[in-house]
Amino acid sequence: MIWLLCFVLAVLASLFRSRLRLEAENAVLRHQLIVLRRRLHGRVRLTNHDRWFFIQLYRWFPSILQVLTIIRPETLVRWRRAGFRRYWRWKSCPPGGRPPIDTELRGLILQMSIENPLWGAPRIHGELLKLGVEVTQSSVAKYMVKRRGSPSQGWRTFLRSHAPDIAAMDLFVVPTIGFDLLYAFVIVRLDRRNLAWINVTKNPTAEWVARQITEAFPWDQAPKYLIRDRDRIYGSLVTRRLRAMGIRDKPVAPASPWQNGFAERLIGSIRRECLDHIIVLGEMHLRQILRSYARYYNDIRTHRSLDKDAPVSRPVQRIGSIKSHAILWQASSPLRSGVAVFSTQRPQASSRACLWCLCCRSRPRRPRRAGRRTDVIPPIRSWKFSDCGL
């Protein structure tokens, strides 16, 4: 009964409405039917044209809110207000605007903001002025990186900042041809992955380790921290020597070799690239091999963590012919072994003939002797530039 009364009142009220209002309401009803027919699944999807149509009719005839069914009246009012703000934002913009900034300058501002998280727009603007770049401070603030919280450095930045003052040491075992055990001692600097010291002994003691540490670090080049494992060989004598040199001892947790990852990674590289391909004859033989590998590791071998550079930085050389040089080569022993490696160094010019030039692909042959093995493994080689004239 109530809905019938409402219908009668609506019919009576329509007699007093203008014809334009009735046509606007009919247009709104027809457009809503079109939108509902266009729906496939789920909720109704309105396009920008639909929103514009409803907003324009609402501006002219606010009474159409009474016939809206697929959207709420407050939604239509919100659309109109948003359009009003965008219109006057566009209207109030100056026709010319500020001159555009080059892409390189925007990249420089972004890079300075990322690499210096504690710098604000005034500091970066001052640095740019000292570099001769004329730009406003508001433009600098516009192209800076947006941070939510307070700027702070991450663990990677923290470790890189302290890497020059940290070193790591460790011992590893190498068996010989007579089934004896030799102990190799290594010390590596963390900043450039530099192999600072390597030596060999048959009977490692605390006195021997303390002497190796003293020889590895001069008094003016000692690191502030030294990472090691909890081996019993590092006794009180080693800790006293470290304290006397101003080095803070940092033993890792028990049964946690991954905490000394730099030294473990170095030992793995020595085994994979050198010792796994060589039968060690004795202590002197192993010391000679490891020192040769240390020179190769520091001066020639490239590292991914150093942007494909060596611990002792190597210049890029493009002049000369490429020549191979043996790094581990035992001329007096029938056991020749190694791994092929590459480098690009240009040695001093000499009158000696090349051992193996890529130009001629030739190699001087040696006369075979009775009982000598010929199925040898190729030695570790490095490729260098040479002035051989071929």
Taking the C-alpha atoms of 376, 381, 383 and 386 in order, what is their torsion angle to the nearest 10 degrees? -80
289 shares a domain with 170: yes
pLDDT for residue 325: 76
What is the spatial distance between Cα 359 and Cα 353, in angstroms, rounded to a whole number? 13
pLDDT for residue 338: 37
199 shares a domain with 162: yes
Q: Spell out where the chain has E strands.
A: 166-175, 181-189, 194-201, 225-228, 248-251, 321-328, 380-386
242 shares a domain with 113: no
Residue 343, pLDDT > 60, answer no
Residue finishing a domain among 296, 314, 332: 314
Tally the domains of the chain.
4
For residue 267, what is the enclosing H or E element?
A: helix 261-273
pLDDT for residue 44: 66
Provide the greatest CA pair distance for the chain. Answer: 126
Distance of CA 112 to the CA centre of its chain: 17
DSSP assignment of 109-165 = HHHHHHH-TT--HHHHHHHHHHTT----HHHHHHHSPP-SS-----HHHHHHHHGGG
pTM score, whole prediction: 0.55
Q: How confident is the model at residue 17 (pLDDT cuts 50, 70, 90)?
A: low
336 shares a domain with 324: yes
- What tokens does 165 get? 């003052």
353 shares a domain with 342: yes
112-164: pLDDT as tens digits? 998 888 888 999 999 999 999 889 899 999 899 888 776 677 777 778 888 89
Residues 201, 182: contact at Cβ < 8 Å?
yes
Question: Tokens 């309401």 label which residue?
Answer: 25
255 shares a domain with 166: yes
- Domain encompassing residue 130: 104-146
- For residues 162-174, average pLDDT: 93
pLDDT for residue 281: 93
388 shares a domain with 243: no
323 shares a domain with 300: no
300 shares a domain with 235: yes
167 shares a domain with 27: no
- What is the amino acid identity at position 62? P
Within-domain flag for 97: no
Q: Is the dihedral of CA 150, 155, 160, 162 positive or negative?
A: positive
Within-domain flag for 98: no
Question: Tokens 């530039």 label which residue?
Answer: 385
State residue 309 phi and psi, 5-degree precision. -120, 165
Within-domain flag for 198: yes
Residues 233, 211: contact at Cβ < 8 Å?
no
385 shares a domain with 279: no
Residue 266: is it exposed, middle or buried by C-beta count within 10 angstroms (0-12/13-18/19+)?
Answer: buried
Residue finishing a domain among 298, 314, 330: 314
CA distances from 207 to 169, 212, 234, 249, 319 (A): 15, 9, 9, 16, 49
Q: How confident is the model at residue 77 (pLDDT cuts 50, 70, 90)?
A: confident
- Among 148, 144, 134, 153, which residue's Cα sits nearest to residue 107? 144
Within-domain flag for 8: no
What is the spatial distance between Cα 333 and Cα 50, in angstroms, rounded to a whole number? 89
More confident: 39 or 370: 39
Question: Tokens 């670090």 label which residue?
Answer: 217
241-299: pLDDT as tens digits? 999 999 999 999 998 999 999 999 999 999 999 999 989 999 999 999 999 999 999 99
Residue finishing a domain among 89, 120, 138: 89
Within-domain flag for 151: no
Mean pLDDT check: name the lowest of 21-35, 90-104, 137-151: 21-35
Mean pLDDT check: name the lowest of 57-66, 110-119, 215-224: 57-66
201 shares a domain with 136: no
Give the CATH number, domain containing residue 303: 3.30.420.10
pLDDT for residue 65: 67
